[in-house]
Amino acid sequence: MGAGLWLDGLTGPARRIWAAALFGLALVSPATAQPVGVLDTVPEGAAVLDIRDEGACLEASLSGARCLPADWLLPANGPMIGFHALRWLFGTVGLRGDEVLVIYDGTERPGDVGFAVAALAHLAGQAEVAVHRGPGTVSDAGGESRNLSREAVYTAPMRIAEMVVSDVPKGRLSDQLAGFAKTGGVVVFPPRN
């Protein structure tokens, strides 16, 4: 039975709610096999997120970069940041979710941490995400640190169709995220207590 036939039996608010939910699921369905691109140059108007240590970012970074260390999102010891907090944190660096986002890790070849952070941004709903290849031309002015409050409200719909919650581990979450960024598929998250 198609969704349209199923909805024919519903009326009023219930029909509108289910229609909106089904439309929302269609919007967050996987669109490509490789959700994260790789770029040599930053496109005009793109947002840049420098995920290196905050001191290194503030000292020198790509032009217009915002500093948001990867350790804040994917700590070495402990759980990954929750998506609610991640989306709020993205707002503190001015992201709304509808812009092109370039992840900069300062290396010649993007590493797995850069791809993992890019995957988080993609799953959080970021319109388009890429990692920067190469050290790039850094500015002596350095990157700009995040604000303590949001500059923008991050409103992009999350891509829940690419996430699964399971008690059965599939390896380290950061490794899964990096692999997902390169090949697509789904990411298996552990349940939160």
Q: Could you tell me which of 82, 131, 88, 139 has the C-alpha nearest to residue 109? A: 131
- 68-116 pLDDT, tens digit per residue, is 999 999 988 878 899 999 999 999 999 999 999 999 998 888 899 999 9
- 146-160 pLDDT, tens digit per residue, is 999 999 999 999 999
Q: What integer pLDDT is reported at residue 170 of this predicted model?
A: 82
DSSP state of 193: -
Topology (CATH level 3) of domain 36-189: Oxidized Rhodanese; domain 1 (3.40.250)
- 9-64 pLDDT, tens digit per residue, is 556 665 555 545 544 444 444 444 689 999 999 999 999 999 999 999 999 999 99
> Could you tell me which residues come within 8 angstroms of residue 73 by beta carbon, excluding any fewer than 6 positions away?
51, 80, 81, 86, 89, 117, 120
Residues 100, 45 contacting (CB under 8 angstroms): yes
Domain range annotation of the chain: 1-30, 36-189
What pTM value is reported for the model? 0.81
Structure tokens at 156: 């992009």
